[in-house]
Chains A and B, each alone.
Chain A
Amino acid sequence: MIAVENLGLRIGQTQILSDVSLQIAPGEIFGLVGESGSGKSMTALSLMGLLPRGAVTTGTATLDGTDLLSLPEWRRQRLRGNDISMIFQEPMTALNPVQTIGAQVAETLLVHNRANRADALRQARTQLDRVGLSHIALDRYPHELSGGQRQRVCIAAAIALHPRLLIADEPTTALDVTTQAQILDLLKALVAEENMALLLITHDLAVVANMARRIAVMQSGRVVEQGPTAQVIHDQRHPYTRALFAASSHRPERAAQTGDAAILTVEDAHRHYPGPRRGFTRTDPIRAVNGVSFTLKRGESLGLVGESGCGKSTLTRAILGLDPLTSGSITLNGQPISPTMPRARRADMQVVFQDPYGSFNPRWRVDRILTEPFHLLDTPPPRDAAITEALKAVHLHPDDAHKYPHEFSGGQRQRIAIARALITRPKLLVLDEAVSALDVSVRARILDLLADLQRQFGLSYLFISHDLTVVRAITDRVLVMQAGQIVEAGATEQVFTAPQHSYTRQLLAAAPRLPDPIGAPHVA
């Protein structure tokens, strides 16, 4: 039994957590939901005793009667991996790339002196079998495994000593929907088998809604609402909970304005990479993009959906004219696209990337960042006026032009990225997972902004994403991509309500869905 009572946390002068109280019974899945900065990860780290230097805690957090917060470090070390373990969001960086997976699972047992080397490896095998990796040898390295398999390895290591509490911090956020569904099923089964408590931390309400018996909603270091999952979803007593639910299923208001003329045409596009070297020969080429054809009309918003490795990034780079095609053609306004095309042709098409942190040179100020695409124009418009206009278009203040990117939040940065894309007045915007890294409430506002800009400037969108909810909210038509090919294409609502291809059906079935708040008495 885990009991957290009035947990407070202060780092320096900043109060991170206040009055966090929650109980998790053995065999229970407890969902901790909140946006970034709400303190959900810090709550978990408090339990693990892995807080950053200078952190001061108040209150208690007991595991079967032992107060975790007051333990000296050496006693905590015995608990970690033994009674409490944790899995993280990014399974690639959570594993050591130069150690075999067998060694890493066995390590937990060795550290706690529960087995000798041979025994530990034998038990590692058993644990890996339990998490569904019976076909993977112990001497494999993390890079030889897929994202889902790596997360399974992390889980195997975490449960090797049968912990009483497993903390899963965004365990499926970095994974594809179908993999996410499998990992969640696995966690559910393990909780029942081991009778352990699972603290599931996520920003995704849909994930916890289907998993947790009880959930707590966190906002700025406080639990604003907690209770049985069904009740929280149904009642939504706290305004923040309501806002979170509303944002999760937010659909911006859009007016159909699809024209007849095609702006972007992709015809039988192929992009093959040389296969891996085997001795002096190479194996068959990898067909990352294998015969893709589609047209994007003026003013249309077209979604491109697919899981990682399906070739959508390769296709995107070819469309942006960054990489060449092996065969086939891409035309923008009837002009061919290629890495060697004249600069001016690129001005009609700009891109917004996923990562609001990696999208800007950290040493440049916003004004310089925004005007970089002016390089494409022979006679750029007056600089200051263009900067002000672009910042206003994305609802930022003109004074922000003199700041550095690190002075902005994730959502604001994504607005800057959109402003940069708009500055050459393009006709086509490629949105490459442009809202995937954002919190739901921020995401909702960015989607509104995109819908607004589309109307205002008559933009066409190519919206690339793995997130089906978002694609459904913002696109007119959708393409489903699998293994380098488009397996299904059609009007968005039609594809989502009556999918034709088995892969589309599989994707839709795997996507976690929010239950409708029946009655929803408090929703205005």
Chain B
Amino acid sequence: MNRLPATLLLGTLITAVFAVAALLSLVWTPHDTTALSISDRFLPWSSVHPLGTDQYGRDMVSMLMEGTRTSIAVALIAIGIGITLGVPLGLIAAAHRGSALDEVIMRGNDMVFAFPSLVIAILITAIYGPSATNAILAIGIFNIPVFARVARGGALPIWTLDYILAARTAGKSRARISAEHILPNIANLLIVQATIQFSLGILAEAGLSYVGLGAQPPVASLGKMLSEAQTLIYSNPGLAVLPGLSIVILVLGLNLMGDGLRDALDPRLRRART
């Protein structure tokens, strides 16, 4: 009987709470976040507004629910872009180590790496106008080289192992070996990297929103809430602390879940625990 590790349970629980709140905000929030009411601004915590209201009189619970949704969506999709493009590129580079293909892929990666993400974001914004979608694109593009590097770095030592030779004597192609042997064995690296990139994604979204290149009003995001509350940090610290805490707890939950998943997915660790 395998018992799930406590970290995985706790991490999943935290993530689930945020995910449910975010999903719920799609159909229902306690109050409308687009209706501004200056007379209701800076209300203290009450039964009507459990966490009070912000500088425009919007309900903080509703704002946090929406903000979480935007932040999670931006970070998740950006990671998705990074993984779906970066991991295959890294695997291909590792499978053809030292070849011209490897060089082309990795030097292309270096170029993207060397480019400041803010400049790309401004570029995209200049062409398509500011929006959450463009923030996703900008952050996603910068996730590609990260995942490509991690995938290649993890794959290279595995390519030298005997079971890869055995698979080659079984006539399998490099692509097939990459999918069947390499990918499952670097999954733990990728999961850990994904949780790190997720935290970075949320922060990057906050940064882009802060300079006005991310989510546009009336869309709320945790990062934007944080930056808008900046000037009110002394008079109304709650407005900054709540989205800040949300980011911290969400990232913590995701990291715990990532760690737990990595352990649970590895048959060697699974056995060692029981």
Contact = CB atoms under 8 A, between A and B. Distances in A.
Given A346-B171, A375-B172, A359 B267 contact: no
Nearest to B270: A404
A359 B166 CA distance: 7
Contacts of B171: 343, 346, 375-376
A372 to B, nearest CB: 5
Interface in B175-216: 180-181, 184-185
B interface majority secondary structure: helix
A363 B267 contact: yes
Contact of B169 (A346, A361, A362): A346
Contacts of B172: 372, 375
Contacts of B163: 358-361
A237 to B, nearest CB: 39
Interface in A446-494: none
Interface stretch (A120-128, A349-357, A503-511): A349-357
Given A361-B163, A361-B181, A404 B170 contact: no
Interface in B141-168: 161-163, 165-168
Contact of A351 (B169, B181, B267, B268): B169
B271 interface: yes
B268 A361 contact: no
Given A343-B171, A361-B181, A376-B171, A406 B268 contact: yes
Given A320-B169, A351-B169, A420-B166, A358 B161 contact: yes
A196 B161 CA distance: 41
A407 B266 CA distance: 13
A261 interface: no
Contacts, number: 62
Interface string A489-524: 000000000000000000000000000000000000
A383 to B, nearest CB: 15
Interface string A363-390: 1000000001101100000000000000
A375 B170 contact: yes
A350 B161 contact: no
Interface residues of A, number: 26
A423 to B, nearest CB: 10
Nearest to A369: B163
A373 B169 CA distance: 8
Contacts of A137: none
Contacts of B167: 372
A322 interface: yes
Contacts of B271: 404, 406-407
A117 to B, nearest CB: 36
Contacts of B267: 362-363, 404, 406
Interface string A308-322: 000000000000111
B170 A376 contact: yes
Contacts of A360: 163, 166
A381 B267 CA distance: 29
A351 B165 contact: yes
A372 B161 contact: no
A320 B268 CA distance: 31
Contacts of A417: 166
Contact of B162 (A358, A404, A407): A358
A363 B169 contact: no
Interface in A33-82: none
Given A362-B268, A406-B268, A373 B170 contact: yes
A351 B185 contact: no
Which are the 4 A-B pairs with shortest beta-carbon distances? A343-B171, A353-B162, A359-B162, A373-B170
19 contacts: A320-B165, A320-B169, A321-B169, A346-B169, A346-B170, A346-B171, A351-B169, A353-B165, A360-B163, A362-B267, A363-B185, A372-B167, A372-B170, A373-B169, A376-B171, A404-B267, A404-B268, A406-B268, A406-B271
Given A355-B162, A361-B184, 14 more contacts: A320-B165, A320-B169, A346-B171, A353-B162, A359-B166, A361-B185, A362-B266, A372-B166, A372-B170, A375-B171, A376-B171, A404-B268, A404-B271, A420-B166
